[in-house]
Amino acid sequence: MTTSAMTTSALTATATATLAPDSTRLRAAADFVRRHDTATLLPLLLPGLDGPQLHSLTRHLSFAHAALLVFPPDPATLRADLAACGLTADTPPLPSSVVRDRLAARHRRDAAGLDVSILRPEVRAADGTRRAVEVFALTVPPGSDLWPVAEHERAHQHEAHLAFEVLRPEPLLLRGLCALLAEQGAVPDGGGHNPHENGTVLYFTAPAASLAGYRRVELYAPGDHRDVLAGHLADRPATRPSVGPPADQPAETLLRLLTGAWATQALAACARLRLPDAIPQGAPIDRAALARRTGTHPRALATLLRYLAMLGVVTAEGERVRLTEVGALLREDAPASMRPLALMYGGPFYRSFGALDHTVRTGETAFDHLFGENHFDHFARDPELADLFDRSMAASTRMFDPVPAHPALAAAAARPDGGTVVDVAGGNGELLARVLTAHPGLRGVLLERPHAVEAARRTMAEAGCADRCTYRVGDFADVPAEGDVYLLSRVLHDWDDDRCRAILRHCERAMPAHADLLIVERLLPADGSASLATAWDVHMMCNVGGRERRADHYADLLAAAGLDLLAHTPLPLDAALLHARRPARP
Protein backbone atom coordinates (compact mmCIF):
# COMPACT_ATOMS: atom_id res chain seq x y z
CA MET A 1 0.00 0.00 0.00
CA THR A 2 1.47 3.37 -1.00
CA THR A 3 0.58 6.71 0.45
CA SER A 4 0.31 8.37 -2.97
CA ALA A 5 -3.02 6.63 -3.59
CA MET A 6 -4.60 7.55 -0.25
CA THR A 7 -7.09 10.27 0.50
CA THR A 8 -6.17 12.82 3.15
CA SER A 9 -8.36 11.15 5.79
CA ALA A 10 -6.97 7.70 5.08
CA LEU A 11 -3.45 9.11 5.23
CA THR A 12 -4.16 10.53 8.68
CA ALA A 13 -5.49 7.14 9.88
CA THR A 14 -2.44 5.37 8.54
CA ALA A 15 -0.15 7.92 10.19
CA THR A 16 -1.79 7.19 13.55
CA ALA A 17 -1.38 3.43 13.04
CA THR A 18 2.20 3.59 11.89
CA LEU A 19 3.78 6.05 14.32
CA ALA A 20 3.63 3.52 17.18
CA PRO A 21 5.78 0.90 15.40
CA ASP A 22 8.82 3.14 15.90
CA SER A 23 8.75 2.39 19.64
CA THR A 24 8.12 -1.28 18.87
CA ARG A 25 11.14 -1.43 16.59
CA LEU A 26 13.27 0.46 19.11
CA ARG A 27 12.39 -2.07 21.80
CA ALA A 28 13.17 -5.01 19.49
CA ALA A 29 16.55 -3.52 18.56
CA ALA A 30 17.44 -2.94 22.22
CA ASP A 31 16.51 -6.53 23.10
CA PHE A 32 18.62 -7.80 20.21
CA VAL A 33 21.66 -5.85 21.41
CA ARG A 34 21.24 -7.15 24.95
CA ARG A 35 21.11 -10.78 23.81
CA HIS A 36 24.07 -10.93 21.42
CA ASP A 37 27.83 -10.52 21.53
CA THR A 38 30.56 -10.58 18.88
CA ALA A 39 31.40 -14.28 19.19
CA THR A 40 27.81 -15.49 18.91
CA LEU A 41 26.61 -12.95 16.34
CA LEU A 42 29.31 -13.36 13.69
CA PRO A 43 28.54 -17.06 12.96
CA LEU A 44 24.86 -16.13 12.53
CA LEU A 45 25.68 -13.24 10.25
CA LEU A 46 28.29 -15.16 8.22
CA PRO A 47 27.37 -18.88 8.45
CA GLY A 48 30.28 -19.92 6.23
CA LEU A 49 32.99 -18.79 8.67
CA ASP A 50 35.48 -21.45 9.66
CA GLY A 51 37.26 -21.46 13.01
CA PRO A 52 40.39 -19.46 12.06
CA GLN A 53 38.34 -16.84 10.22
CA LEU A 54 35.97 -16.46 13.17
CA HIS A 55 38.94 -16.14 15.54
CA SER A 56 40.49 -13.46 13.33
CA LEU A 57 37.30 -11.43 13.11
CA THR A 58 36.59 -11.59 16.85
CA ARG A 59 40.13 -10.27 17.52
CA HIS A 60 39.64 -7.22 15.33
CA LEU A 61 35.90 -6.45 15.57
CA SER A 62 33.54 -5.66 18.41
CA PHE A 63 29.75 -5.73 18.08
CA ALA A 64 28.82 -2.10 18.70
CA HIS A 65 25.17 -1.52 17.94
CA ALA A 66 22.02 -2.34 16.01
CA ALA A 67 20.69 0.57 13.96
CA LEU A 68 17.31 1.63 12.67
CA LEU A 69 15.69 4.66 11.06
CA VAL A 70 12.63 6.17 12.76
CA PHE A 71 10.27 8.96 11.77
CA PRO A 72 8.98 10.86 14.82
CA PRO A 73 6.59 13.76 14.27
CA ASP A 74 8.72 15.87 16.62
CA PRO A 75 11.72 15.53 18.96
CA ALA A 76 9.50 15.17 22.05
CA THR A 77 7.82 12.06 20.61
CA LEU A 78 11.20 10.52 19.88
CA ARG A 79 12.34 11.15 23.46
CA ALA A 80 9.12 9.57 24.76
CA ASP A 81 9.54 6.52 22.51
CA LEU A 82 13.12 6.08 23.72
CA ALA A 83 12.10 6.42 27.35
CA ALA A 84 9.31 3.85 26.90
CA CYS A 85 11.96 1.37 25.77
CA GLY A 86 14.31 2.17 28.65
CA LEU A 87 16.68 4.06 26.34
CA THR A 88 18.31 7.37 27.23
CA ALA A 89 20.61 9.37 24.97
CA ASP A 90 23.12 11.20 27.15
CA THR A 91 24.64 13.25 24.33
CA PRO A 92 22.96 15.69 21.91
CA PRO A 93 22.04 14.31 18.47
CA LEU A 94 24.58 14.65 15.67
CA PRO A 95 23.81 15.16 11.98
CA SER A 96 24.04 12.03 9.81
CA SER A 97 25.41 13.03 6.44
CA VAL A 98 25.79 9.39 5.30
CA VAL A 99 22.15 8.34 5.86
CA ARG A 100 20.89 11.74 4.66
CA ASP A 101 22.72 11.32 1.35
CA ARG A 102 21.52 7.70 0.96
CA LEU A 103 17.91 8.78 1.49
CA ALA A 104 18.29 11.66 -0.94
CA ALA A 105 19.66 9.37 -3.66
CA ARG A 106 17.09 6.64 -3.04
CA HIS A 107 14.08 8.97 -3.13
CA ARG A 108 15.41 11.62 -5.53
CA ARG A 109 15.13 14.31 -2.87
CA ASP A 110 17.22 17.36 -2.13
CA ALA A 111 19.55 16.34 0.69
CA ALA A 112 19.21 19.82 2.20
CA GLY A 113 15.55 19.06 2.94
CA LEU A 114 16.34 15.86 4.88
CA ASP A 115 17.38 16.68 8.42
CA VAL A 116 18.61 13.29 9.66
CA SER A 117 20.14 13.07 13.12
CA ILE A 118 21.90 10.29 15.04
CA LEU A 119 21.34 9.27 18.64
CA ARG A 120 23.13 6.38 20.34
CA PRO A 121 21.34 5.46 23.58
CA GLU A 122 23.36 2.99 25.59
CA VAL A 123 22.27 -0.61 26.19
CA ARG A 124 23.85 -2.78 28.87
CA ALA A 125 24.25 -6.35 27.59
CA ALA A 126 23.66 -9.43 29.72
CA ASP A 127 27.40 -9.75 30.37
CA GLY A 128 27.68 -6.10 31.43
CA THR A 129 29.20 -4.89 28.15
CA ARG A 130 28.09 -1.45 27.03
CA ARG A 131 26.68 -1.28 23.51
CA ALA A 132 24.13 0.97 21.84
CA VAL A 133 21.10 1.26 19.65
CA GLU A 134 21.97 3.67 16.85
CA VAL A 135 18.86 5.67 16.06
CA PHE A 136 18.67 7.65 12.84
CA ALA A 137 15.76 10.09 13.13
CA LEU A 138 14.06 11.93 10.28
CA THR A 139 11.34 14.22 11.63
CA VAL A 140 8.11 13.75 9.64
CA PRO A 141 5.24 15.91 10.96
CA PRO A 142 1.66 14.83 10.11
CA GLY A 143 0.79 15.96 6.60
CA SER A 144 4.44 16.34 5.57
CA ASP A 145 5.41 15.46 2.00
CA LEU A 146 8.00 13.16 3.57
CA TRP A 147 5.33 10.59 4.50
CA PRO A 148 5.93 8.53 1.30
CA VAL A 149 9.62 8.36 2.25
CA ALA A 150 8.74 7.19 5.77
CA GLU A 151 6.28 4.56 4.51
CA HIS A 152 8.79 3.16 2.02
CA GLU A 153 11.62 3.07 4.54
CA ARG A 154 9.47 1.41 7.22
CA ALA A 155 8.48 -1.27 4.75
CA HIS A 156 11.97 -1.97 3.40
CA GLN A 157 14.25 -1.17 6.35
CA HIS A 158 17.13 -0.05 4.12
CA GLU A 159 19.01 1.59 6.99
CA ALA A 160 18.54 -1.13 9.61
CA HIS A 161 21.90 -2.77 10.17
CA LEU A 162 24.33 -4.35 12.61
CA ALA A 163 27.56 -2.49 13.29
CA PHE A 164 30.97 -3.77 14.32
CA GLU A 165 33.67 -1.36 15.41
CA VAL A 166 37.16 -2.01 14.05
CA LEU A 167 39.31 -2.04 17.17
CA ARG A 168 42.64 -0.93 15.67
CA PRO A 169 41.79 0.59 12.28
CA GLU A 170 44.71 0.62 9.87
CA PRO A 171 44.37 0.73 6.07
CA LEU A 172 45.84 -2.74 5.53
CA LEU A 173 43.65 -4.28 8.23
CA LEU A 174 40.51 -2.56 6.92
CA ARG A 175 41.14 -3.87 3.40
CA GLY A 176 41.72 -7.35 4.79
CA LEU A 177 38.48 -7.27 6.76
CA CYS A 178 36.56 -6.12 3.67
CA ALA A 179 38.10 -8.95 1.65
CA LEU A 180 37.18 -11.52 4.31
CA LEU A 181 33.56 -10.33 4.39
CA ALA A 182 33.44 -10.52 0.59
CA GLU A 183 34.74 -14.10 0.72
CA GLN A 184 31.76 -14.94 2.93
CA GLY A 185 29.26 -13.51 0.44
CA ALA A 186 28.83 -10.01 1.89
CA VAL A 187 28.39 -7.44 -0.89
CA PRO A 188 29.68 -3.83 -0.65
CA ASP A 189 26.71 -1.50 -0.20
CA GLY A 190 28.02 2.02 0.11
CA GLY A 191 29.40 3.98 3.02
CA GLY A 192 30.89 7.34 3.79
CA HIS A 193 32.91 9.56 6.09
CA ASN A 194 31.01 11.52 8.71
CA PRO A 195 32.99 14.70 9.44
CA HIS A 196 30.81 15.53 12.46
CA GLU A 197 32.36 12.66 14.45
CA ASN A 198 35.37 11.83 12.22
CA GLY A 199 34.38 8.24 11.54
CA THR A 200 34.33 6.10 8.40
CA VAL A 201 31.51 3.61 7.75
CA LEU A 202 31.64 0.73 5.26
CA TYR A 203 28.28 -0.89 4.54
CA PHE A 204 27.70 -4.44 3.26
CA THR A 205 24.66 -6.48 2.31
CA ALA A 206 24.73 -9.63 4.44
CA PRO A 207 24.98 -13.02 2.68
CA ALA A 208 21.66 -14.55 1.68
CA ALA A 209 22.30 -17.42 4.11
CA SER A 210 22.63 -15.04 7.08
CA LEU A 211 20.57 -16.00 10.12
CA ALA A 212 21.01 -12.76 12.07
CA GLY A 213 17.72 -11.18 10.97
CA TYR A 214 19.43 -8.03 9.61
CA ARG A 215 20.21 -7.62 5.92
CA ARG A 216 22.96 -5.01 6.27
CA VAL A 217 26.28 -4.84 8.11
CA GLU A 218 28.43 -1.84 8.98
CA LEU A 219 32.12 -1.74 9.72
CA TYR A 220 32.81 1.42 11.69
CA ALA A 221 36.39 2.69 11.74
CA PRO A 222 37.21 5.76 13.87
CA GLY A 223 39.08 8.33 11.83
CA ASP A 224 39.28 9.38 8.21
CA HIS A 225 39.88 6.35 5.95
CA ARG A 226 38.64 7.72 2.65
CA ASP A 227 41.29 5.86 0.63
CA VAL A 228 39.88 2.54 1.85
CA LEU A 229 36.35 3.91 1.42
CA ALA A 230 37.03 4.79 -2.23
CA GLY A 231 38.07 1.21 -2.99
CA HIS A 232 35.05 -0.11 -1.10
CA LEU A 233 32.65 2.11 -3.06
CA ALA A 234 34.30 1.08 -6.33
CA ASP A 235 33.60 -2.56 -5.45
CA ARG A 236 29.90 -1.93 -5.04
CA PRO A 237 27.94 -3.61 -7.87
CA ALA A 238 26.02 -1.31 -10.17
CA THR A 239 22.93 -3.42 -9.57
CA ARG A 240 23.00 -5.13 -6.22
CA PRO A 241 22.22 -8.85 -6.51
CA SER A 242 19.72 -10.43 -4.13
CA VAL A 243 22.32 -13.08 -3.36
CA GLY A 244 25.93 -12.00 -3.07
CA PRO A 245 28.43 -14.87 -3.44
CA PRO A 246 31.93 -13.86 -4.50
CA ALA A 247 32.10 -14.23 -8.26
CA ASP A 248 35.62 -15.66 -8.27
CA GLN A 249 34.80 -18.56 -5.92
CA PRO A 250 31.61 -20.17 -7.31
CA ALA A 251 32.65 -23.73 -6.43
CA GLU A 252 33.39 -22.86 -2.80
CA THR A 253 30.16 -20.88 -2.52
CA LEU A 254 28.12 -23.76 -3.94
CA LEU A 255 29.85 -26.28 -1.69
CA ARG A 256 29.02 -24.22 1.41
CA LEU A 257 25.40 -24.02 0.29
CA LEU A 258 25.21 -27.76 -0.37
CA THR A 259 26.36 -28.57 3.14
CA GLY A 260 23.51 -26.63 4.73
CA ALA A 261 21.68 -29.91 5.33
CA TRP A 262 24.59 -31.03 7.50
CA ALA A 263 24.14 -28.03 9.76
CA THR A 264 20.42 -28.80 10.14
CA GLN A 265 21.13 -32.37 11.20
CA ALA A 266 24.01 -31.37 13.47
CA LEU A 267 21.67 -29.00 15.33
CA ALA A 268 18.90 -31.60 15.43
CA ALA A 269 21.33 -34.24 16.74
CA CYS A 270 22.56 -31.79 19.36
CA ALA A 271 18.95 -31.31 20.50
CA ARG A 272 18.05 -35.03 20.39
CA LEU A 273 21.13 -35.96 22.40
CA ARG A 274 20.30 -33.14 24.86
CA LEU A 275 23.88 -31.90 24.74
CA PRO A 276 22.92 -28.32 25.73
CA ASP A 277 21.02 -29.61 28.78
CA ALA A 278 24.11 -31.56 29.87
CA ILE A 279 26.46 -28.56 29.64
CA PRO A 280 26.44 -26.44 32.82
CA GLN A 281 25.06 -22.96 32.28
CA GLY A 282 27.85 -20.39 32.11
CA ALA A 283 30.63 -22.91 32.71
CA PRO A 284 32.77 -25.18 30.50
CA ILE A 285 32.72 -28.98 30.68
CA ASP A 286 35.33 -31.52 29.67
CA ARG A 287 34.40 -33.34 26.46
CA ALA A 288 34.96 -36.76 28.06
CA ALA A 289 32.66 -35.83 30.94
CA LEU A 290 30.03 -34.63 28.46
CA ALA A 291 30.25 -37.95 26.61
CA ARG A 292 29.65 -39.82 29.87
CA ARG A 293 26.72 -37.59 30.80
CA THR A 294 25.02 -38.06 27.43
CA GLY A 295 25.98 -41.69 26.75
CA THR A 296 27.74 -40.81 23.50
CA HIS A 297 30.88 -42.10 21.78
CA PRO A 298 33.76 -39.78 22.88
CA ARG A 299 35.52 -39.48 19.51
CA ALA A 300 32.27 -39.10 17.55
CA LEU A 301 31.06 -36.50 20.03
CA ALA A 302 34.33 -34.58 19.67
CA THR A 303 33.81 -34.46 15.90
CA LEU A 304 30.27 -33.16 16.31
CA LEU A 305 31.36 -30.57 18.87
CA ARG A 306 34.05 -29.28 16.52
CA TYR A 307 31.36 -28.69 13.86
CA LEU A 308 28.98 -27.14 16.42
CA ALA A 309 31.78 -24.75 17.42
CA MET A 310 32.10 -23.69 13.78
CA LEU A 311 28.34 -23.06 13.75
CA GLY A 312 28.59 -20.94 16.91
CA VAL A 313 26.63 -23.33 19.15
CA VAL A 314 29.56 -24.01 21.51
CA THR A 315 33.02 -22.57 22.01
CA ALA A 316 36.06 -24.78 22.45
CA GLU A 317 38.56 -24.15 25.24
CA GLY A 318 41.14 -26.89 24.74
CA GLU A 319 39.45 -30.14 25.79
CA ARG A 320 36.53 -28.26 27.30
CA VAL A 321 33.45 -26.77 25.67
CA ARG A 322 31.13 -23.99 26.73
CA LEU A 323 27.60 -23.31 25.51
CA THR A 324 27.09 -20.02 23.63
CA GLU A 325 23.94 -17.90 23.80
CA VAL A 326 22.92 -19.51 20.50
CA GLY A 327 23.44 -23.01 21.87
CA ALA A 328 21.55 -22.15 25.04
CA LEU A 329 18.40 -21.75 22.93
CA LEU A 330 18.51 -25.53 22.38
CA ARG A 331 18.17 -26.23 26.12
CA GLU A 332 14.77 -27.65 26.95
CA ASP A 333 14.42 -25.41 30.00
CA ALA A 334 15.46 -22.18 28.24
CA PRO A 335 12.78 -19.46 28.54
CA ALA A 336 12.88 -18.98 24.74
CA SER A 337 13.82 -22.57 23.88
CA MET A 338 14.01 -23.35 20.16
CA ARG A 339 14.64 -27.07 20.75
CA PRO A 340 11.20 -28.04 19.33
CA LEU A 341 12.04 -26.21 16.09
CA ALA A 342 15.35 -28.09 15.79
CA LEU A 343 13.53 -31.41 16.27
CA MET A 344 10.81 -30.49 13.78
CA TYR A 345 13.11 -29.10 11.08
CA GLY A 346 15.53 -31.99 11.53
CA GLY A 347 12.70 -34.55 11.70
CA PRO A 348 9.43 -34.74 9.74
CA PHE A 349 10.02 -31.61 7.66
CA TYR A 350 13.58 -32.69 6.88
CA ARG A 351 12.26 -35.93 5.35
CA SER A 352 9.67 -34.18 3.22
CA PHE A 353 12.14 -31.57 2.00
CA GLY A 354 13.96 -34.48 0.36
CA ALA A 355 11.04 -34.65 -2.09
CA LEU A 356 11.07 -30.96 -3.03
CA ASP A 357 11.68 -31.88 -6.66
CA HIS A 358 8.38 -33.85 -6.63
CA THR A 359 6.56 -30.69 -5.51
CA VAL A 360 8.19 -28.60 -8.22
CA ARG A 361 7.37 -31.19 -10.91
CA THR A 362 3.77 -31.85 -9.90
CA GLY A 363 2.62 -29.03 -7.63
CA GLU A 364 1.72 -31.65 -5.02
CA THR A 365 2.85 -31.06 -1.44
CA ALA A 366 5.86 -33.28 -0.75
CA PHE A 367 4.72 -34.00 2.81
CA ASP A 368 1.37 -35.32 1.57
CA HIS A 369 3.17 -37.39 -1.08
CA LEU A 370 5.50 -39.02 1.45
CA PHE A 371 3.15 -39.51 4.38
CA GLY A 372 -0.16 -40.00 2.54
CA GLU A 373 -1.94 -37.11 4.31
CA ASN A 374 -1.46 -33.44 5.13
CA HIS A 375 0.69 -32.49 8.08
CA PHE A 376 -2.22 -31.39 10.27
CA ASP A 377 -3.90 -34.80 10.01
CA HIS A 378 -0.61 -36.68 10.25
CA PHE A 379 0.48 -34.90 13.43
CA ALA A 380 -3.00 -35.21 14.98
CA ARG A 381 -2.77 -39.03 14.71
CA ASP A 382 0.42 -39.09 16.80
CA PRO A 383 0.18 -37.37 20.21
CA GLU A 384 3.97 -36.94 20.45
CA LEU A 385 4.19 -35.34 17.00
CA ALA A 386 1.15 -33.17 17.71
CA ASP A 387 2.77 -31.95 20.94
CA LEU A 388 6.09 -31.32 19.15
CA PHE A 389 4.34 -29.33 16.41
CA ASP A 390 2.46 -27.19 18.92
CA ARG A 391 5.65 -26.55 20.91
CA SER A 392 7.55 -25.63 17.74
CA MET A 393 4.84 -23.13 16.82
CA ALA A 394 4.99 -21.72 20.35
CA ALA A 395 8.77 -21.40 20.06
CA SER A 396 8.30 -19.40 16.86
CA THR A 397 5.74 -17.16 18.55
CA ARG A 398 8.28 -16.08 21.16
CA MET A 399 10.28 -14.40 18.40
CA PHE A 400 7.49 -11.86 17.85
CA ASP A 401 7.43 -10.21 21.27
CA PRO A 402 6.47 -6.77 19.90
CA VAL A 403 3.01 -8.09 18.94
CA PRO A 404 1.52 -7.49 22.43
CA ALA A 405 2.48 -3.80 22.18
CA HIS A 406 0.17 -3.04 19.23
CA PRO A 407 -2.11 0.01 19.70
CA ALA A 408 -5.25 -2.03 18.87
CA LEU A 409 -4.54 -4.27 21.85
CA ALA A 410 -3.80 -1.31 24.09
CA ALA A 411 -7.06 0.35 22.99
CA ALA A 412 -9.04 -2.81 23.73
CA ALA A 413 -7.42 -3.10 27.16
CA ALA A 414 -8.41 0.50 27.91
CA ARG A 415 -12.14 -0.14 27.38
CA PRO A 416 -14.13 0.53 30.56
CA ASP A 417 -15.46 -3.03 30.60
CA GLY A 418 -12.14 -4.57 29.49
CA GLY A 419 -11.66 -5.81 25.94
CA THR A 420 -11.68 -9.35 24.54
CA VAL A 421 -9.02 -10.83 22.24
CA VAL A 422 -9.98 -13.83 20.11
CA ASP A 423 -7.02 -15.95 18.98
CA VAL A 424 -8.20 -17.92 15.95
CA ALA A 425 -6.30 -21.22 15.58
CA GLY A 426 -4.15 -20.09 18.49
CA GLY A 427 -2.20 -23.33 18.98
CA ASN A 428 -1.11 -23.96 22.55
CA GLY A 429 -1.93 -20.39 23.58
CA GLU A 430 1.62 -19.03 23.68
CA LEU A 431 0.80 -15.80 21.82
CA LEU A 432 -2.49 -15.20 23.62
CA ALA A 433 -0.80 -15.75 26.99
CA ARG A 434 1.81 -13.14 26.11
CA VAL A 435 -0.88 -10.68 25.05
CA LEU A 436 -2.90 -11.19 28.25
CA THR A 437 0.24 -10.90 30.37
CA ALA A 438 1.14 -7.60 28.67
CA HIS A 439 -2.42 -6.24 29.03
CA PRO A 440 -3.98 -7.25 32.38
CA GLY A 441 -7.25 -5.55 31.41
CA LEU A 442 -7.89 -7.95 28.52
CA ARG A 443 -9.79 -11.23 28.42
CA GLY A 444 -9.03 -13.97 25.91
CA VAL A 445 -10.87 -16.54 23.84
CA LEU A 446 -8.88 -19.30 22.11
CA LEU A 447 -10.35 -21.28 19.20
CA GLU A 448 -8.55 -24.53 18.38
CA ARG A 449 -8.71 -28.31 17.93
CA PRO A 450 -9.40 -30.41 21.05
CA HIS A 451 -5.82 -31.51 21.80
CA ALA A 452 -4.48 -27.97 21.29
CA VAL A 453 -7.10 -26.56 23.66
CA GLU A 454 -5.86 -28.87 26.41
CA ALA A 455 -2.28 -27.68 25.82
CA ALA A 456 -3.50 -24.06 25.87
CA ARG A 457 -5.15 -24.56 29.26
CA ARG A 458 -1.75 -25.58 30.66
CA THR A 459 -0.02 -22.61 29.00
CA MET A 460 -2.55 -20.15 30.42
CA ALA A 461 -2.26 -21.65 33.88
CA GLU A 462 1.54 -21.38 33.80
CA ALA A 463 1.25 -17.74 32.67
CA GLY A 464 -1.23 -16.92 35.46
CA CYS A 465 -3.97 -16.05 32.94
CA ALA A 466 -6.28 -19.06 33.38
CA ASP A 467 -9.06 -16.98 34.94
CA ARG A 468 -9.10 -14.55 32.00
CA CYS A 469 -9.37 -17.03 29.13
CA THR A 470 -12.13 -19.22 27.74
CA TYR A 471 -11.80 -21.90 25.07
CA ARG A 472 -13.77 -22.91 22.00
CA VAL A 473 -13.27 -26.25 20.26
CA GLY A 474 -13.93 -25.91 16.56
CA ASP A 475 -12.67 -24.74 13.18
CA PHE A 476 -12.70 -21.49 11.24
CA ALA A 477 -16.48 -21.59 10.80
CA ASP A 478 -16.81 -21.29 14.59
CA VAL A 479 -15.10 -17.91 15.09
CA PRO A 480 -16.92 -16.32 18.06
CA ALA A 481 -18.60 -12.93 17.72
CA GLU A 482 -17.55 -11.46 21.06
CA GLY A 483 -14.12 -10.00 20.32
CA ASP A 484 -12.68 -6.52 20.19
CA VAL A 485 -9.43 -7.74 18.61
CA TYR A 486 -8.99 -10.90 16.51
CA LEU A 487 -5.60 -12.58 16.01
CA LEU A 488 -4.51 -14.76 13.10
CA SER A 489 -0.87 -15.64 13.78
CA ARG A 490 0.84 -17.56 10.97
CA VAL A 491 -2.42 -19.15 9.89
CA LEU A 492 -3.06 -17.76 6.41
CA HIS A 493 0.30 -18.91 5.01
CA ASP A 494 -0.88 -22.50 5.56
CA TRP A 495 -3.55 -22.21 2.86
CA ASP A 496 -4.20 -21.34 -0.78
CA ASP A 497 -5.97 -18.12 -1.73
CA ASP A 498 -9.50 -19.58 -1.85
CA ARG A 499 -9.17 -21.02 1.64
CA CYS A 500 -7.65 -17.75 2.93
CA ARG A 501 -10.59 -15.77 1.58
CA ALA A 502 -12.98 -18.19 3.30
CA ILE A 503 -11.10 -17.89 6.63
CA LEU A 504 -11.13 -14.10 6.42
CA ARG A 505 -14.87 -14.08 5.60
CA HIS A 506 -15.53 -16.18 8.71
CA CYS A 507 -13.59 -13.61 10.74
CA GLU A 508 -15.32 -10.64 9.10
CA ARG A 509 -18.79 -12.09 9.75
CA ALA A 510 -17.95 -12.65 13.42
CA MET A 511 -16.23 -9.30 14.05
CA PRO A 512 -18.28 -6.52 15.66
CA ALA A 513 -18.22 -3.25 13.73
CA HIS A 514 -15.53 -1.73 15.96
CA ALA A 515 -13.22 -4.78 16.02
CA ASP A 516 -9.66 -4.98 14.70
CA LEU A 517 -7.99 -7.93 12.98
CA LEU A 518 -4.24 -8.45 13.54
CA ILE A 519 -2.39 -10.89 11.28
CA VAL A 520 1.18 -12.12 11.82
CA GLU A 521 2.90 -13.38 8.67
CA ARG A 522 6.21 -13.10 6.85
CA LEU A 523 5.92 -10.77 3.85
CA LEU A 524 7.67 -11.47 0.57
CA PRO A 525 9.67 -8.36 -0.38
CA ALA A 526 8.25 -6.52 -3.38
CA ASP A 527 11.74 -5.65 -4.63
CA GLY A 528 13.11 -9.20 -4.66
CA SER A 529 15.63 -8.51 -1.89
CA ALA A 530 16.88 -11.33 0.32
CA SER A 531 14.39 -12.33 3.02
CA LEU A 532 13.55 -15.23 5.30
CA ALA A 533 10.08 -15.05 3.76
CA THR A 534 11.52 -16.31 0.48
CA ALA A 535 12.95 -19.39 2.22
CA TRP A 536 9.70 -19.97 4.12
CA ASP A 537 7.77 -19.73 0.84
CA VAL A 538 9.63 -22.84 -0.36
CA HIS A 539 9.01 -24.54 3.00
CA MET A 540 5.28 -23.82 2.89
CA MET A 541 5.01 -25.08 -0.69
CA CYS A 542 6.94 -28.28 0.04
CA ASN A 543 5.70 -29.24 3.48
CA VAL A 544 2.41 -27.52 4.15
CA GLY A 545 0.75 -26.72 0.84
CA GLY A 546 0.61 -23.00 1.59
CA ARG A 547 2.61 -19.96 0.61
CA GLU A 548 4.04 -16.64 1.76
CA ARG A 549 2.69 -13.46 0.14
CA ARG A 550 3.45 -9.80 -0.46
CA ALA A 551 1.59 -7.09 1.47
CA ASP A 552 -0.47 -6.14 -1.57
CA HIS A 553 -1.51 -9.79 -1.99
CA TYR A 554 -2.84 -9.83 1.58
CA ALA A 555 -4.58 -6.51 0.92
CA ASP A 556 -6.45 -8.14 -2.00
CA LEU A 557 -7.45 -11.17 0.11
CA LEU A 558 -8.71 -8.89 2.87
CA ALA A 559 -10.61 -6.72 0.42
CA ALA A 560 -12.37 -9.80 -0.98
CA ALA A 561 -13.56 -10.51 2.57
CA GLY A 562 -14.78 -6.94 3.11
CA LEU A 563 -11.81 -5.72 5.15
CA ASP A 564 -9.25 -2.95 4.62
CA LEU A 565 -5.53 -3.37 5.27
CA LEU A 566 -4.68 -0.26 7.28
CA ALA A 567 -0.96 -0.80 7.87
CA HIS A 568 1.74 -3.41 8.28
CA THR A 569 4.40 -3.15 10.96
CA PRO A 570 7.81 -4.88 10.77
CA LEU A 571 8.50 -7.62 13.32
CA PRO A 572 11.70 -9.56 13.95
CA LEU A 573 12.92 -12.17 11.45
CA ASP A 574 11.32 -10.54 8.39
CA ALA A 575 7.80 -10.97 9.78
CA ALA A 576 5.11 -8.31 9.89
CA LEU A 577 1.97 -7.44 11.82
CA LEU A 578 -0.88 -6.56 9.45
CA HIS A 579 -3.70 -4.44 10.84
CA ALA A 580 -7.12 -4.72 9.17
CA ARG A 581 -10.61 -3.41 9.87
CA ARG A 582 -13.96 -2.98 8.17
CA PRO A 583 -14.06 0.10 5.90
CA ALA A 584 -15.41 3.22 7.58
CA ARG A 585 -18.93 4.02 6.46
CA PRO A 586 -19.42 7.44 4.81
Whichever domain contains 263, its CATH number is 1.10.10.10
Q: Do residues 346 and 301 share a domain?
A: yes
More confident call, 16 vs 488: 488
Q: Is the dihedral of CA 239, 245, 246, 247 positive or negative?
A: negative
Which of residues 370, 392, 414 is at a domain's end?
Answer: 392
pLDDT in tens, 519-550: 999 999 887 777 788 889 999 999 999 999 99
Q: How far apart are the first and last CA of the chain?
A: 21
Is residue 375 scored above 90 in pLDDT? no
pLDDT in tens, 151-197: 888 878 888 899 999 988 888 888 888 888 888 888 888 888 877 77
CA distance 313 to 327: 4
Concatenate the DSSP letters of all residues of 60-71 into one string.
HEEEEEEEEEE-
Q: Do residues 229 and 337 share a domain?
A: no
Which of residues 216, 250, 284 is at a domain's end?
Answer: 250
Burial (CB count within 10 angstroms: exposed 0-12, middle 13-18, buried 19+), residue 516: buried
Overall pTM > 0.85: no
* H-helix or E-strand spanning residue 228: helix 226-234
Asked whether residue 452 is assigned to any structural domain, the reply reads yes
Q: Do residues 180 and 59 share a domain?
A: yes
CA distance 189 to 181: 12
3-state secondary structure of 320: strand
- Of 210-214, 250-254, 284-288, the one with minimum mean pLDDT is 250-254
3-state secondary structure of 262: helix
- Give the pLDDT band of residue 244 (cuts 50, 70, 90): very low
- Catalytic machinery residues: 493
Confidence (pLDDT) at 411: 83
Q: Are 44 and 312 in contact (CB under 8 A)?
A: yes
CA distance 568 to 579: 6
Is residue 19 scored above 80 in pLDDT? no
Is residue 6 scored above 70 in pLDDT? no
pLDDT in tens, 392-437: 877 776 665 557 778 788 888 788 888 999 999 998 898 999 899 9
Q: Are 159 and 90 in contact (CB under 8 A)?
A: no
Q: Are strands 216-222 and 199-205 parallel, antiparallel or unpaired?
A: antiparallel
* 324-358 burial: b if 16+ Cβ within 10 Å, else e: bbbbbbbbeebeebbbbbbbbbbebbbebbebeeb
Domain encompassing residue 104: 3-250
Asked whether residue 227 is assigned to any structural domain, the reply reads yes
Confidence (pLDDT) at 243: 34
Is residue 1 scored above 80 in pLDDT? no
- Give the pLDDT band of residue 249 (cuts 50, 70, 90): low
Q: Do residues 38 and 156 share a domain?
A: yes
Share of the chain above pLDDT 70, in %: 92
Q: Is the dihedral of CA 211, 217, 219, 225 positive or negative?
A: positive
Confidence (pLDDT) at 385: 83
* H-helix or E-strand spanning residue 230: helix 226-234
Q: Do residues 478 and 518 share a domain?
A: yes
Which of residues 215, 250, 285 is at a domain's end?
Answer: 250
Asked whether residue 373 is assigned to any structural domain, the reply reads yes
- Of 11-25, 197-211, 313-327, the one with minimum mean pLDDT is 11-25
Mean pLDDT of the chain: 85
CATH at 110: 3.10.180.10
CA distance 169 to 60: 9
What does each C-alpha distance from 542 to 174, 352, 359, 361 come to in angstroms? Answer: 43, 7, 6, 11
